[in-house]
Amino acid sequence: MRGPCRCARAVIDAAREKEIKIFYVRMGYRRDGVDLLEFGKKCTGLKQLYPDTWEFDIDEDLEVTENDILIHKHWCTAFFDTPLVQMLHGLQIDTVIFCGCSVGGCLYASAMESSCYGFHTVIVKEAVADRSEEIYETFLDDLGQKYADIETMESVIEKIGKLNQIPYHMLDEMRNERNEK
């Protein structure tokens, strides 16, 4: 995962230069596993994903900041039973750029659902991974045919570089004006 993490970090750094919001989504459960339910019966490795473990923590190379948004999920998609879609809509975000793992599981489910919600969905090819090259290629190919644009890290960074800074503060001002009326 070192290579994909480094590529993700390059994309994150480019996004931060434009003050684009960074969302981290991680999966985790209680130590006693009571919240694993049926998903945990099928995916027994999920029992290792609980707070204060290496498996649960965001890779330190990604350097989460206080301005980043951290979302905790229990299911394969970043959207189901989380506030992610409401946050994206509230911030008037129309494009979601994905980095992470696993291509054949969480990334696939999240990218598919992102597309279903109407977001322009982009996957950074070098910033995603899975347990085998075959799974990686098969699921990326399927995502690219149906739900997402599969782009290189260089292409995504170049496109981010051409953007104007995102004026999120203006959204706050607009909300305040509405509330005052």
Domain ranges, ordered by start, for the chain = 2-167
Integer Cα distance of 3 and 129 in angstroms: 9
- Please list, in sequence order, all residues whose beta carbon lies within 8 angstroms of the beta carbon of residue 134, skipping any fewer than 6 positions away: none
172 has a pLDDT exceeding 70: no
Integer Cα distance of 154 and 7 in angstroms: 9
Q: What is the pLDDT of residues 95-126, one digit of tens each?
A: 999 999 889 989 999 999 999 999 999 999 99
pLDDT of residue 52: 79
Mean pLDDT of 129-139: 94
Q: What is the side-by-side order of every strand in the sheet holding 149-151?
A: 95-101, 120-129, 149-151
What is the architecture of the domain spanning 2-167?
A: 3-Layer(aba) Sandwich (3.40)
Integer Cα distance of 101 and 108 in angstroms: 9
Burial 59-70 (b: 16+ CB within 10 A, else e): beebeeeeeeee
Q: Confidence class of residue 74 from pLDDT cuts 50, 70 and 90? A: confident
Active site residues: 106
